[in-house]
């Protein structure tokens, strides 16, 4: 989890300010993870955040269908791969946790 926290050098206020200006809700996901909050993978903004990481719509559907209630799913994707997420690697992680 240390890597995740290191990846978020901005404060919660700065993140919320950025979100409101850019309408980039992927920061909601990252902020929740950084603060150890529960993330609902079925929420639309979570799927959008996964797509922003480079995952195709098909991959996002597969991932959320495989583990729709796994709170660790998005945390794993963001902490291991960040903005360079590889769909095949992400699916391997998800399948290994099934």
Q: What is the pLDDT of residues 20-59, one digit of tens each?
A: 655 555 655 555 555 544 555 556 666 676 677 676 777 6
Q: Is the pTM higher than 0.85?
A: no
Q: At what angle do helices 72-81 and 44-52 cross, to 10 degrees?
A: 20
What is the structure's pLDDT at 51? 72
CA dihedral sign, ordered 50, 52, 54, 57:
positive
Q: Max CA-CA distance within the chain? A: 38
Report which of 33, 28, 1, 34 is spatially closest to residue 15, judged by C-alpha positions: 28
């Amino acid at each position: 989890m240390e890597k995740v926290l290191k990846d978020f050098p901005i404060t919660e206020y700065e993140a919320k300010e950025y979100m409101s200006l850019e309408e980039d809700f992927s920061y909601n996901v990252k902020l929740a993870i950084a603060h150890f909050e529960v993330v609902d993978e079925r929420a639309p903004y979570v799927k959008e955040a996964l797509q922003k990481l480079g995952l195709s719509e098909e991959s996002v559907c597969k991932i959320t269908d495989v583990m729709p209630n796994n709170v660790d799913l998005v945390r794993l994707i963001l902490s291991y791969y960040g903005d360079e997420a590889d769909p095949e690697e992400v699916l391997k992680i998800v399948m290994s946790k099934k």
